[in-house]
Amino acid sequence: MSKKDIIFRDMISLRGPSIWTYPPVIESWIDIGELEDFPSNKIPGLYERLAAWLPSLVEHRCNYDERGGFLRRLQEGTWAGHILEHVVLELMSLAGLPDGFGRTRETTTRGVYKLIVSNFHEECTRLALEQGRELLLAAIHDEPYDVAAAVKQLRRKVDRKYLGPSTAAIVNAAEARRIPHIRLLDDGNLVQLGYGAAMRRIWTAETDATSAIAETISRDKDLTKELISAVGVPVPEGREVDSADDAVEAAEDIGYPVVVKPTDGNHGRGVFIDLVSAEAVKKAYAIAVEEGSGVLVERSIPGIEHRLLIVGGKLVAANRSDFITVTGDGQSTVQQLIDTQVNTDPRRGDSELHPLSIIRIDTAARLELERQELTGDSVPAAGRVVLIQRNANHAFDCTDEVHPDTAAVASLAARVVGLDIAGIDLVCPDISRPLAEQGGAIVEVNAGPSLLMHIKPGIGKPRPVGQAIVDNLFAANESGRIPVIGVAGSRGKTPVARLVAHLLHLSGRHVGVACSDGLFLGRRQVQKSDAANWTGGRRLLLNRAVEAAVIENGGKVILGEGLAYDRCQVGIVTNVLPAAEDLSRWDIQPTGGEYYTTWRSTYRTQVDVVLQSGYAVLNASDPLVADFAELCDGEVIFFSADAECPALEAHLNAGKRAVYVSESRIYLGTGQDEIRLCRLGDVPLIGKSKKPETIAGVLAAVAAGWALGLTQDVIVTGIKTYGLDLADPFALLPRRARKSAGVASRI
């Protein structure tokens, strides 16, 4: 490599917890070649150029843990890999992604580094890595680089691919409650919250509880009005019309002013309010009929537009609209005034990230101007106030001002239509007074309402609508989790995974297993090939029928793909020594020093992801595994065929739990108390060979069953029946255990 260059040798997408961190990351292997001899303090002007091109790098604290910490490292001298890490994170943050995680680690090859950055969205991260490399090389070679263009390109991709702000708010609220999420569409806002049988699905502000019928009703304004007015909700008097003449007739029946609008429009398109003449009604009809499949004429309700967000029958946020006006200066046209006085507001934009939209002279605005005998090209006199738009500008949060009666009426409307989440459009002069007494009315009930105006109001307090939606999906004591059992280790994982699944099956749960023998749902094998990988695990978590998931994941999965789940109820580590998995692909040798640590940390990942309410099941006879005990956020159950194993004894002496063998019998020990389960000889899997590894595997599975709260009946029957070709293992369960497994009637 003649010229100073940076080459991406490899990119590994770790789509779940890994040795680096919990959220997804991309691990790039970069070769900086000659730059290994040129730390930043040896490249003239590099510091100055980077600090000028990316001034917000000053916020990077780096290992000095202070503002400007990274820039200080840059001045003192640091290497290209580390610099690239910070440049990429900064580009992603400038493009609207959350602040990310970064690491740079040497490999055994000089000049080759592992560069780890957060992976919020695969395509966005890969683009940021490419851009970061180009930017850094330009800074190194003192060549021009258009940072603004790069950020714009990345922001466009983020807007298209990353979660929309409304969905992100719901996902963040779920995360705050430690409810996991899985994005089901790469570039859509369809997200699964929770795993398996405990999951719920959202598509932005629609959930799996939003009925299709309710959604259809809400799209038909006339039907909606009929249903809600039947229960006393005030709505504007009006009817559907089928011609311009019929519209005038309806208007005259109702009495001016009236509104003409499509029966099933949205975003205010084709909606004309405050019409006071037949001519205006006809003009409006001609436009409204193009915007929908029918036209409504109704009384024009005096007042201001409000949007009330109802979640699970409760008012969680409310916004008031404001009229859009401009003031003449005697020189500028109306269009120019809009561009200078309205659209310069940084909150206005076309992307999902902007709470307010760009104001354009659309058909409604043109009619509004016509009413003032103006057009977009007119030059209003200095000081003349010109009304551009009366609605669809929900800038003001007014949640705390809503009169309780009005909140109740809005909630009633949502309930009648049948929506768990509804955006209620109502018009009234004063939201702090009951609707009826001021002639206010509900004009529309929206399914899947935009949440952005409530999350980021133009003016006023942001509202925790994401939290309200999550709390409506999951009761306070619900976690969205099913028991997930992760099985890691150097050897003997598969039999443990399958035995644990057998025990869970006997407890009456519908169990999914992803292991190297394949994928199993209940007793059905749905995949014969190796499923001990990320995809295998994910398939279980995406399955609504799965009540417990047992997932085998060895070192190769942890290093090459990441774990398929964010946390687990039980994390089993069968063993680490002697090293049986070849992990050299990831530059990991179990030979001590830095790399030994990385090798060890590969297997500790299984313990790092154990929930606080969970259990690590660890092989006490393997000193490396026993050491993992202190890392566990949850409780630890040791297992060992050797009851005198020092780590196990110390654990029991500390009053903790362990599973061990004594005089050829399996025991459950808690402190000094112990329960005898059965003889080793009663366990078909152990058989006559009594192989130590097999015994250890059975003990690990027993410990996991114990951690999951399975009864002794189930555990004993399970280990006594596993591997036997029984038509129905439940038959061997004592009646009381069959009852609790919900299979009493089967015998």
Residues 262-281 vs ligand ADP: string with x where CB under 6 A?
---xxxxx-x-x--------
Using alpha carbons, select from 251, 238, 255 the residue that is nearest to residue 283.
251
In whole angstroms, the minimum distance from the beta carbon of 306 to Mg ion comes to 11
- Work out the angle at residue 284's Cα, subtended by the Cα atoms of residues 279 and 287, and round it to the nearest 5 degrees: 135
Q: Which does 267 bind (CB under 5 to 8 A by kind): ligand ADP, Mg ion, none?
A: ligand ADP
Which position has the token pair 């738009």? 389
In whole angstroms, the minimum distance from the beta carbon of 305 to ligand ADP comes to 3
Alpha-carbon span 314 to 431, nearest angstrom:
16
Q: Is 393 in the site for ligand ADP (CB under 6 A)?
A: no
In whole angstroms, the minimum distance from the beta carbon of 298 to ligand ADP comes to 5
Helix or strand (DSSP H, E) at 538: helix 534-541
Alpha-carbon span 389 to 372, nearest angstrom:
12
Residues within the interface to Mg ion (CB under 5 A): 425, 444
In whole angstroms, the minimum distance from the beta carbon of 255 to ligand ADP comes to 13
Alpha-carbon span 102 to 20, nearest angstrom:
9
What are the φ/ψ torsions at residue 742 (nearest 5 degrees)?
70, 30
Q: In what order do the strands lie in the sheet with 568-573?
A: 524-527, 518-521, 511-515, 548-552, 484-488, 568-573, 610-619, 635-640, 657-662, 665-670, 673-679
In whole angstroms, the minimum distance from the beta carbon of 446 to Mg ion comes to 6
Residues 212-251 vs ligand ADP: string with x where CB under 6 A?
---------x--------------x---------------
Q: Which does 443 bind (CB under 5 to 8 A by kind): ligand ADP, Mg ion, none?
A: ligand ADP
Question: Quick check: 694 and 686 in contact, CB under 8 A?
Answer: yes
Q: Which does 569 bind (CB under 5 to 8 A by kind): ligand ADP, Mg ion, none?
A: none
Q: Which does 427 bind (CB under 5 to 8 A by kind): Mg ion, ligand ADP, none?
A: ligand ADP
Using alpha carbons, select from 256, 284, 261 the residue that is nearest to residue 271.
261
Residues 352-391 vs ligand ADP: string with x where CB under 6 A?
---------------------------------------x
In whole angstroms, the minimum distance from the beta carbon of 211 to Mg ion comes to 20
Among 443, 496, 513, 629, binds ligand ADP (CB under 6 A): 443
In whole angstroms, the minimum distance from the beta carbon of 235 to ligand ADP comes to 8
Please report, as residue ranges, which positions from 17 to 46 form the binding site for ligand ADP (by CB under 6 A). Answer: none
Give whole-number Cα distances, 35 to 86, 91, 114, in Å: 17, 22, 15
Using alpha carbons, select from 567, 576, 522, 524 the residue that is nearest to residue 547.
522
Number of residues that bind ligand ADP (CB under 6 A): 21
- Which residue, 24 or 265, is less far from ligand ADP as judged by CB? 265
In whole angstroms, the minimum distance from the beta carbon of 170 to ligand ADP comes to 22
Alpha-carbon span 723 to 728, nearest angstrom:
12
- Which residue, 147 or 223, is less far from Mg ion as judged by CB? 223
Question: Quick check: 713 and 706 in contact, CB under 8 A?
Answer: no
Which position has the token pair 């830095």? 594
Please report, as residue ranges, which positions from 397 to 436 form the binding site for ligand ADP (by CB under 6 A). Answer: 425, 427
- Work out the angle at residue 504's Cα, subtended by the Cα atoms of residues 501 and 509, and round it to the nearest 5 degrees: 115
Q: Is 469 in the site for ligand ADP (CB under 6 A)?
A: no
- Which residue, 409 or 609, is less far from Mg ion as judged by CB? 409
Pairing of strands 421-428, 441-447: antiparallel
In the Cβ-directed half-sphere of 272, how many Cα atoms lie within 13 Å?
36
Radius of gyration of the CA atoms of the chain, in A: 32
Which position has the token pair 């309780």? 404
In whole angstroms, the minimum distance from the beta carbon of 242 to Mg ion comes to 23
Residue least distant from ligand ADP (Cβ): 305
Alpha-carbon span 133 to 73, nearest angstrom:
19
Among 32, 91, 112, 259, binds ligand ADP (CB under 6 A): 259
In whole angstroms, the minimum distance from the beta carbon of 288 to ligand ADP comes to 10
CB atoms under 10 Å from CB of 580, counted, come to 13
Residues that bind ligand ADP (CB under 6 A): 221, 236, 259, 261, 265-269, 271, 273, 298-301, 305, 391, 425, 427, 443-444
